[in-house]
Structure 1
Amino acid sequence: MQVTDGGGRSVTVTARRAQIVAATVEVIAEFGYAKASFARIAARAALSSTRLISYHFAGKDELIAAVTREVIDSIGRYAASRLAVADSAAGMLRAYIMAMVEFTAAHRVSMTALMEIVLGGGLRHDAAADRDVVGPVEAILRRGQADGEFREFDVVVMATAVQRAVEGLPFLLQARPELDCAAYGRELVTLFELGTRMSPT
């Protein structure tokens, strides 16, 4: 009897795909998106032939999509675990910002690879995907306004500002790898707490 994962693939196939994705992340982070050839990926994954990559992925576009999905899903799982223990909109906003910063600091290779994919044009712009990314932040902000925690402001503008601030950290780390990420996160938390809270009456 063949053991399968939730997607109907055999465990062996799933493990091989994960191995190739992990190797691709490392290669892109080291050499850049344009130079992430199947030959380099196969060597990093200790595969005997690039045909093993082609067997599991129809082409580079499909492989890059899998890499992007894996990194983004990992970010989502980490952020969700932090948000689950927050009991207010302000707490959720704080948890989200710190989760994004902490994940970036702890997974620099993955985040560098994602940045290289974006800069290299490997991630096609998708307005719906943008909404999916900013949407959770908008929901937090709308809850805060509804509960009277946050002042009135344009939720789309504020959510976009929050998202772009946390997404900018990988780019900043490229220029300043010694950056204190914890301090960066605290400054963002303070910035957006001041920007969203109700003014004292």
Structure 2
Amino acid sequence: MRSKNGAGGRVSFIQAARRQQIIAAAIATVTTVGYGQASLARIADHAEISKSVISYHFANKDDLLEQVVAQVNDDWAAFMRPFLDAEQTATGRLAAYIRSRLAYMRDNHDRLVAVAEIIVNHRGPDGTPVFAERDAAPVAELVTILRDGRAGGEFRDFDPVVLAMTITQGIDGALTYWSEHPGADLTAYGEELVTLFGLATESRGGRR
């Protein structure tokens, strides 16, 4: 972000607000017209500003769209953190992870549709996907939960990476399902996943 500090931080505050306005406009534009048609001109029109204002805050379209993904991922993680921290067991943390991730999804449909569109289509100069390692932090957190549960005897013996990826695919699939079935209850969807993966991680001693 190209910012200049003013007295009392006023300028940086205004610029931060403008930056958020541009990110919101980019999300709305990508959601409406898709990645390929989301030009800086269209984003500027949606925000009711000039392209030069966007260029002041972001180096180019790639920089803007990469910041959209980073912002949404940061917000998603921040939303989930209190729910995860409130749990004392791996079983509770796993359930909280699934429920809170889907709760954010339920309340931020357009943001996640835009992020999914960017992740699938955004490529670097050599043609490789920029977000090939997407969701690395959430998956790593999930792997930690699963490893802790296995080490503590709450969970059975399994490959935590394989199961973490399976859980992630189950959660990601909710957005596709929801897009195809707008009336779907994501809370109920999440409860099914909690039950399913509760059984999948269950220790050999029986249900917890």
Root mean square deviation, CA, Å = 1.7
Q: 2:27·2:114 contact (CA, 8 Å) conserved in 1?
A: yes
Distance in 1, Cα, partners of 2:148 & 2:71:
29
Q: 1:137·1:159 contact (CA, 8 Å) conserved in 2?
A: yes
Distance in 1, Cα, partners of 2:118 & 2:58:
17
The equivalent residue for 2:182 is 177
The equivalent residue for 2:113 is 112
Q: 1:26·1:109 contact (CA, 8 Å) conserved in 2?
A: yes
Q: Which has the higher contact order (CA 8 A, sep 6+)?
A: 1
Q: How does 1:14-163 map to 2 (within 5 A)?
A: 14-47=16-49, 49-121=50-122, 124-127=130-133, 129-163=134-168
State the AA in 1 paired with 2:146. Answer: L
Displacement of 1:30 after TM fit?
1.2
Q: 2:119·2:131 contact (CA, 8 Å) conserved in 1?
A: no
Query: Of the candidates 3, 12, 15, which is equivalent to residue 13 of structure 1?
Result: 15
SS in 2 for 1:134: helix
Displacement of 1:21 after TM fit?
0.4
Number of equivalenced pairs: 196
State the AA in 1 paired with 2:18. Answer: R
What is the CA deviation profile of residues 52-88 of structure 1, one whole-angstrom value per residue up to 9, with x for unaligned ones?
Answer: 1111111011000110001111110111121011110
State the AA in 2 paired with 1:35. Answer: Q
What is the CA deviation profile of residues 9-58 of structure 1, one whole-angstrom value per residue up to 9, with x for unaligned ones?
Answer: 811111111110011111111111111111221121121x1111111111
Distance in 1, Cα, partners of 2:30 & 2:135:
23
TM-score (norm 2): 0.88
Q: 1:2·1:10 contact (CA, 8 Å) conserved in 2?
A: no
State the AA in 2 paired with 1:27. Answer: T
Displacement of 1:138 after TM fit?
0.5
Unaligned stretches of 5+ residues in structure 1: none
TM-score (norm 1): 0.91
SS in 2 for 1:140: helix
State the AA in 2 paired with 1:72. Answer: N
Distance in 2, Cα, partners of 1:93 & 1:124:
29
State the AA in 2 paired with 1:28. Answer: V
The equivalent residue for 1:193 is 198
Distance in 1, Cα, partners of 2:20 & 2:135:
26
State the AA in 2 paired with 1:159. Answer: A
Unaligned stretches of 5+ residues in structure 2: 1-5, 124-128
Change (3 A) 1:149 1:107: same
Distance in 1, Cα, partners of 2:8 & 2:116:
35
Structure 1 segments of 4+ aligned residues over 6 angstroms from their partners: none
